[in-house]
Amino acid sequence: MEFLQPETWPEALQMKAAHPQAVPIQGGTDVMVELNFDRYRPEYLLDLTRVSELAQWAPDNGHIRLGAGVSYTRVITELGDRLPGLAMASRTVGSPQIRNRGTVGGNLGAASPAGDSHPALLAAYAHVEVESVRGARQIPAEEFYTGVKRNALGPDELIKAVLIAPPAGPQQFCKIGTRNAMVIAVAAFGLALHPDREAVGTGIGSAAPTPRRALAAEQFLAQSLTDDGLWESRGALPDATGRHFADLVADAASPIDDVRGTARYRVHSLSVMARRALIWAWNDFRRV
Ligand SMILES: Cc1cc2nc3c(=O)[nH]c(=O)nc-3n(C[C@H](O)[C@H](O)[C@H](O)COP(=O)(O)OP(=O)(O)OC[C@H]3O[C@@H](n4cnc5c(N)ncnc54)[C@H](O)[C@@H]3O)c2cc1C
């Protein structure tokens, strides 16, 4: 196995173009598991840890530009106030060791339907910035996930960063697993209220072949809040609105039975998480 170690981003792109079969490695918390279990043996590993810009974040044109190599620990400690939904999701990932090594870029690269960053990125309307020697492009998160553990990257492309607007309203993330820590989600749900545009963002995790938004639920809730003047008044949320929103979120899932849980349980847990997340987010919104 060849170990490629670019020092700069242009060098990394050149190496990926020359060896499209090269497997990028950032924190290694997914890649090393696969190698250790001998699930595959790539001809080339492309180590991205020396590319310093990947490990940086910065405000950029009204967004936070989160380098693909920023660890979960840093999202939690440095960006908890600016990216609250993603920070909540990051707190639920693995253990301290995994959060120190694991990155949002790696979560996107792996594109597991159970990856915890995805619901938060979907709800926040994040974009994934990818690049190759051919040029750069931004992919809306909902178009990035193309199948079970598949994403929209071309063979010569690398993930450079994620662009996320700072929250205009409250954000929530809920995850259900078979225990409280070090657990892959049985189901997960992300919610973001966007009062600046009277819109709602959602993200469903681990309950469909890909992470996905619950579009009908988003539209129903945003419209109900507008029709009832609640974006303005910040009045109490009608119980029926919360219940119907939860039902629509559950309807958007298409889960399977597997070792972690049944499809039925996943659908039920999603509706519970959606209602709770909405109540918590709405209470936060009313307090401001
Ligand atoms: C014990 C344990 C517990 C875990 N718990 C959780 C959990 O609770 N929630 C969760 O979501 N995940 C969990 N994971 C999975 C893993 O930690 C995450 O998916 C993490 O985000 C991977 O990040 P990484 O930097 O380590 O990725 P890596 O392992 O380095 O890479 C992951 C994938 O992304 C690709 N990749 C990496 N960087 C790039 C790039 N810049 N451009 C293109 N492709 C790239 C790699 O080729 C690979 O396919 C766990 C893993 C372990 C071992």
pTM value is 0.98
Q: What is the pLDDT of residues 151-175, one digit of tens each?
A: 999 999 999 999 999 899 999 999 9
Strands 44-47 and 23-25: parallel
Q: What is the pLDDT along the chain (288 residues), one digit of tens a residue?
A: 999 999 999 999 999 999 999 999 999 999 999 999 999 899 999 999 999 999 999 999 999 999 999 999 999 999 999 999 999 999 999 999 999 999 999 999 999 999 999 999 999 999 999 999 999 999 999 999 999 999 999 999 999 999 999 899 999 999 999 998 899 999 999 999 999 999 999 999 999 999 999 999 999 999 999 999 999 999 999 999 999 999 999 999 999 999 999 999 999 999 999 999 999 999 999 997
- Is the CB–ligand 1 distance for residue 132 below 6 Å? no
List, in order, residues 6 or more apart from 198 with CB less than 8 Å away. 222, 225, 226, 231
Name the nearest CA neighbour of 119 among 94, 145, 97, 96.
145
Cα-Cα end-to-end distance for the chain? 55
**Strands of the 23-25 sheet, one edge to the other:** 2-4, 44-47, 23-25
Contact 189, 205 (CB under 8 A): yes
- Is the CB–ligand 1 distance for residue 31 below 6 Å? yes
From ligand 1's centre to the CA of 35, what distance in Å? 13
Indicate which residue's Cα is closest to atom 9 of ligand 1. 93
From ligand 1's centre to the CA of 17, what distance in Å? 22
Q: How many CB atoms lie within 10 A of CB 50?
A: 14
What ligand 1 atom has the least distance to the C-alpha of 68?
41
Contact 172, 191 (CB under 8 A): yes
Cα–Cα dist 270/189, whole Å: 7
Indicate which residue's Cα is closest to atom 32 of ligand 1. 106
Residue that the structure tokens 């954000």 belong to: 171
Q: Which two tokens stand for residue 243?
A: 């219940």
Contact 69, 26 (CB under 8 A): yes
Cα–Cα dist 277/191, whole Å: 7
Indicate which residue's Cα is closest to atom 25 of ligand 1. 27
From ligand 1's centre to the CA of 10, what distance in Å? 23
From ligand 1's centre to the CA of 261, what distance in Å? 22
Q: What is the pLDDT of residues 118-157, one digit of tens each?
A: 999 999 999 999 999 999 999 999 999 999 999 999 999 9
Name the nearest CA neighbour of 167 among 5, 22, 44, 285.
285
List, in order, residues 6 or more apart from 240 with CB less than 8 Å away. none
Name the nearest CA neighbour of 188 among 110, 253, 102, 114.
114
Three-state secondary structure call for residue 255: coil
